[in-house]
Structure formats: C-alpha cells, structure tokens
Amino acid sequence: MNRRHFLNHSALALLAIPFIGCSDENKFRFKQGQIIGCFGDSITAEKNGYVSMLQAKIDSAHPAMELIFINHGLGSETVTGLTEKDHPGPRPYLFERLDDVLDKTPIDVALFCYGINDGIYGKPSEKLFNSFKIGVYSFLEKMRQRKIPALLLTPPPLALKAAPIITSDDMEFGYKNPYPKYEEEVLQEFERIILHMEHPYAKLEINIHTPLLENQATCYDTDPIHPNQKGHELIADTIMENLAF
C-alpha cells in the first residue's frame, strides 16, 4: 500500500466520525510572535502575492504582533494526488513533503489554499469530490498530530468570463483545455466542502472564491487560473476581514 493509498484509507474512516467543536463563527485571533505557514499551489507561491501582502498589511496595521508568514506554496501542487494526462509530469503531492517541511520549519498556525488544481480541470464525480475531502481531512489530521490550528481558504475560481479559453471535447481535459463547467460543477463544490468542513483543527473557513468570482473582471487578466495583483490584494483583504487583533 503506497503512501497516498494509506492516507486515503485512513481519512475515509475519519469521514464517518462526526467531529465536535468545529470552527466557530468568530474571527480568528493570532497570538503575538506566531509563525504562520502558508500552504498552497502556484497562487500561494506567487512571490509578490497575497502572502507577502498579508505580511505587509499586518506589519503596518499591527506591528506589535510581530507575526511571521512563511510561504510554503508550490506550483501545480494538489492534495488529491491527481494529474491530468497533458500535464508535464506528475503534479506535486503535498503529503510527500509536508512532514519534512514541518520538521524543518516549525509553525504555530497553518493557512491552507488548495482546490483549483485538485480536480485536474475535468468533469465532476463523487470519486473526485471524495478525493478532495480526503486531502483536506488528511491535512487537518496532520495539524492535529502537531497541535497546529488551521485556517482554510476556499479554492479560487476559474475565471473564464474574464479570461476565456477555447475548449475542445476532442481533447483530454486539463489545465490547457479545462472542462467548460469546471467552475460551476467542480470548484463550487470544492468551495462548499471547505465551507462546511467540520474538524476541531479547522479553526476558520474563509471564502475567497465568491469575491474573486464576483470581481473577476478586475482581478484577472489573460489567465483564468492565476489572479493578478488586484486579485491577490482582494485575497489578502478578505483574510484580514476574518482576523481579530
């Protein structure tokens, strides 16, 4: 049994357990001097993206907090362990590096933002949705083991109205040729999964999907996957709105 299958088997069992004490409706409050590890795909990994903006905004507004945000984003990464056929090699899988990252760089709080790659831009299915649920639960179980509270961001949207892509049913669906209803039928279900997550270490779920989708005309340029700088600022501001100081 390989590592991914072991995680999936364990997480499937956990899905049947009703967790008590899930995230409350209050804003999340950091403690002074905490280190926040930010995990995600290329959107998180963006050098001048929402993670660095969040650091700058908090340093400016609340310098006494002395928070440190560490960007652990990795381009193309997923928590489902899936890869579409036309992707240049296997997509990175978070759980192949997560333990090493946490061992080398201890953190106090985790920020999680996955989803847009996790459906590999194809059609919806119960198997796909379960794979995403398992990935999120597996992450939260890792956090539980290390007593690290987590903040979950919904996946960002696929902004096809702002940056259309001509798709073809004659080709395999993937990031170059996404399923035309990937946003409505896959990402919006991933959003629902995150917003209804019940786990004692999911301390807050933050919806970045809806505001980005509603403001896609200004938050995206020629790329429907990666927000522009205005989009990243909207993500940072949305996170800030859910924090208490």
Domains in the chain: ranges and CATH: 30-244 (3.40.50.1110)
- Please name the residue that has the structure tokens 């969040």: 54
Nearest-angstrom CA–CA distance, 57 and 65: 12
**pLDDT value of residue 170:** 84
3-state SS, one letter per residue, for 180-234: CCHHHHHHHHHHHHHHCCCCCCEEEEECCHHHHHHCHHHHCCCCCCCCCHHHHHH
Q: Cα-Cα-Cα-Cα dihedral of 168, 169, 174, 180, to 10°?
A: 80
User: What residues of the chain score a pLDDT lower than 70?
Assistant: 1-25
**pLDDT 10s digits, 231-245:** 999 999 999 999 999
**pLDDT value of residue 169:** 85
Do 101 and 61 contact (CB within 8 A), yes or no?
no
Complete edge-to-edge strand list for the sheet that includes strand 150-153: 68-71, 35-40, 109-113, 150-153, 202-206
**pLDDT value of residue 4:** 57
**pLDDT value of residue 17:** 41
**pLDDT value of residue 217:** 98
**pLDDT value of residue 22:** 39
